[in-house]
């Protein structure tokens, strides 16, 4: 009998534990359902899920949709990853100077890896000096520190400074070679709709980025280079005084007192006026990207509207404490018939602060789960649906270990399976 082996039969499949709380109403029904068959559903204790139901009732609401004048836009809650607004977000469009963020990202990586030094002085080529538009007015007699070049890109939007950095890091010493590196690195970062032809966003039919890709890039800059990111909030950089008309940061939000601290503006005749921005209020950070606006004033007004809306209409809440069981999942052939399901850590979700719409939460897993199960194994998923926002999916892990059952539990399981088969046969006669 030690070798007793029982294969799962009817009753196995995807199980769903649903919670339907409503604001200021009694909690909705809690039910276990299986998506593929109605037979043999093993019981799930629903008590712990009431904690989640109460929480959802407390926070439920819906936010008004935001209508933007921008041709394309993307708004992201940084911590939770919740997309608050997406308008033509995956369309590859001319990014103008906003694509300078990719040059900065590669420069920061090179500084981190030791391939560049902040005090290193780089030469200025004829090609770099030839760029017009927004520049640092560099010439071929200059040797400029990396630190000044990076500030010149961030604050002054220097086209020439981008090329100096590009030629220093390119494998073949050319801006075109660096642009190929930018494209390859963007793909590595998950930027699926970005192709670069130059280092600074100079108009070119082959130079394109999507608003979502720019937000992804902003996330990487904020997360991977927190010390360097503080440079994006600098409002003025005089370099050596040679260009008094180009000393101020063009980001219109930095001085408004709304938590804005980056990142980069952009403008060409083809692209219109755009901005990759970020703002932090309290523990929340919002990243937003706009393009295709008609003027500097419209860009400033629309960016401020988006920041105000994102912070006032949404709030961040912690779902549960680490290790707190939200539900119980049935276990097959284990020393215990159930295992607690908890979130990994204490993740937060973003929810609207107004309205009275329903929030639906459900636990989904393929079950019953088969023992042995180790504490911390990902075994299920918590799916949260908030009206007006994308569905949130969070992994659920086993709150405790469950070993394989001994002789008696396995014998009991075998008897249950045989009984179900007998009952099924009798009901079919």
100 catalytic, yes or no? yes
The terminus-to-terminus CA distance of the chain in angstroms comes to 32
Catalytic one of 60, 80, 99, 100: 100
* Full DSSP string of 344-371: SS--EEEEESSS----EEEEEEEESEES
Rounded to 10 degrees, what is the CA torsion of 342, 347, 351, 356?
Answer: 20
Measure CA 192 to chain center: 15
Q: Which long-range contacts (CB under 8 A, 24 or more apart) does 172-177 make?
A: 175/127, 175/199
Catalytic one of 80, 97, 199, 361: 97
**Residue 162: cis peptide before it, omega within 30 degrees of 0:** no
Helix (H) or strand (E) holding 264: strand 260-268
Longest dimension (CA), the chain: 97
Provide the residue count of the chain: 429
**Residue 403: cis peptide before it, omega within 30 degrees of 0:** no
For every residue of 270-310, which 3-state class applies, written as one string?
CCEEEEEEEEEECCEEEEEEEEEECCHHHHHHHHHHHHHHH
| CB neighbourhood size of 281 (10 A) | 14
Catalytic one of 60, 80, 99, 157: 157
Q: Tokens 């200059």, residue?
A: 142
Question: HSE (CB half, 13 Å, CA atoms) of 11?
Answer: 21
Q: Is 264 assigned to a binding site?
A: yes
97 catalytic, yes or no? yes
361 catalytic, yes or no? no
- Let me know the angle formed at the C-alpha of 111 by 110 and 115, rounded to the nearest 5 degrees: 55
> CB burial class (10 A; 0-12, 13-18, 19+) of residue 180?
middle
Q: Which of 283, 271, 120, 261 is nearest to 203 (CA)?
A: 271
**Do the bridges between strand 325-332 and strand 369-370 make them parallel or antiparallel, or are there none, so unpaired?**
parallel
Residues of each annotated binding site: 264
Residues of each annotated binding site for substrate: 264
Catalytic residues: 97, 100, 157
């Amino acid at each position: 009998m030690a070798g007793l082996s029982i294969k799962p039969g009817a009753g196995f499949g995807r199980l769903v534990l649903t919670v339907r709380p409503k604001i200021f109403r009694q909690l909705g029904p809690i039910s276990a359902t299986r998506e593929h068959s109605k037979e043999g559903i093993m019981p799930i204790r629903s008590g712990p899920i009431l904690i989640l139901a109460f929480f959802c009732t407390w926070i439920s609401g819906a936010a008004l949709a935001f209508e933007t004048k921008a041709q394309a836009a993307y708004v992201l809650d940084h911590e939770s990853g919740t997309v608050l607004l997406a308008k033509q977000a995956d369309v590859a469009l001319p990014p103008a100077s906003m694509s300078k963020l990719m040059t900065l990202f590669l420069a920061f990586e090179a500084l981190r890896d030791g391939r560049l030094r902040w005090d290193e002085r780089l030469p200025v080529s004829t090609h770099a000096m030839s760029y017009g538009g927004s520049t640092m007015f560099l010439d071929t007699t200059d040797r400029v520190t990396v630190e000044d070049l990076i500030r010149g890109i961030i604050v002054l939007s220097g086209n020439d400074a981008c090329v100096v950095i590009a030629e220093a890091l390119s494998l073949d010493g050319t801006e075109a070679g660096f642009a190929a590196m930018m494209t390859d690195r963007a793909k590595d970062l998950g930027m699926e709709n970005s192709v670069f032809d130059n280092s600074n966003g100079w108009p070119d039919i082959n130079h394109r980025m999507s608003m979502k890709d720019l937000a992804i890039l902003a996330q990487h800059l904020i997360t991977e280079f927190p010390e360097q990111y503080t440079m994006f909030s600098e409002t003025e950089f005089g370099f050596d005084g040679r260009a008094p008309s180009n000393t101020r940061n063009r980001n219109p939000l930095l001085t408004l007192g709304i938590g804005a601290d980056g990142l980069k503006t952009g403008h060409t005749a083809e692209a219109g006026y755009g901005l990759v921005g970020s703002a932090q209020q309290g523990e929340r950070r919002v990243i937003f990207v706009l393009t295709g606006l008609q003027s500097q004033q419209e860009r400033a007004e629309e960016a401020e509207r988006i920041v105000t809306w994102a912070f006032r209409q949404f709030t961040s809440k912690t779902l549960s404490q680490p290790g707190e069981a939200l539900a119980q999942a049935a276990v097959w052939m284990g020393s215990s018939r159930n295992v607690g399901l908890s979130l990994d850590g204490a993740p937060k979700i973003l929810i609207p602060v107004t309205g009275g719409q329903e929030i639906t939460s459900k636990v989904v897993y393929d079950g019953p789960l088969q023992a042995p199960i180790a504490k911390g194994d990902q075994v299920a998923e918590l799916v949260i649906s908030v009206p007006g926002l994308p569905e949130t999916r969070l992994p659920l892990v086993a709150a405790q270990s469950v070993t394989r059952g001994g002789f008696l539990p396995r014998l009991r399981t075998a008897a249950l399976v045989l009984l179900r088969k007998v009952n099924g046969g009798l009901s079919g006669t």
